Amino acid sequence: MILTIGISYFLYSFSKAKYPGCATEIPQNFCGTVSPNLTDNATEGKKIFNINCAACHKLDKNMTGPALRGIHSRREFPYENYLFDFITKEDSLNKINDRYTKILNEEYNYKFDHNFQLTKIEFEYLMEYIK
């Protein structure tokens, strides 16, 4: 009996877990998370979205903040780099009393300033993901 328990323990200890546990990186194809149409850049953008944006935003559903998929086609921004400025230094836009930033803050009734440390490349990856 001790031999059977020992062999069972030995075999069990070398088998891979079927489901990820806490602090285990989830594989891309776990629970329907496969995104076969994503480019490499959009895949990087998805990671950036999950780290920085997903707490308040979803792609297709309003939450604390608006749904972000297709944001460029639904809104007209005051200048070309406005969205990058809004994401990386919203506090500066608020300090200069930017009219469009005030409108967004009133529309979504929030006091959070977006000040994410994104490079232009990371921002482009993020935009490719949410397009």
Cβ pair 71, 83 in contact under 8 A: yes
**3-state DSSP call for residue 82?**
helix
Q: How far is CA 124 from CA 42, 50, 75, 104, in A?
A: 9, 15, 18, 22
Give the model's pLDDT for residue 117: 93
Q: How far is CA 26 from CA 1, 33, 34, 65, 101, in A?
A: 37, 9, 11, 26, 36
Give the model's pLDDT for residue 16: 56
Give the model's pLDDT for residue 72: 84
For 55-88, what is each residue's pLDDT tens digit?
889 999 988 888 999 888 888 888 889 999 999 9
Reduced 3-state DSSP string for 89-121 = HHHHHHHCCCHHHHHHHHHHCCCCCCCCCCCHH
Enumerate residue ranges in the chain where pLDDT < 70.
10, 12-36
Give the model's pLDDT for residue 13: 66
d(CA 55, CA 35): 20
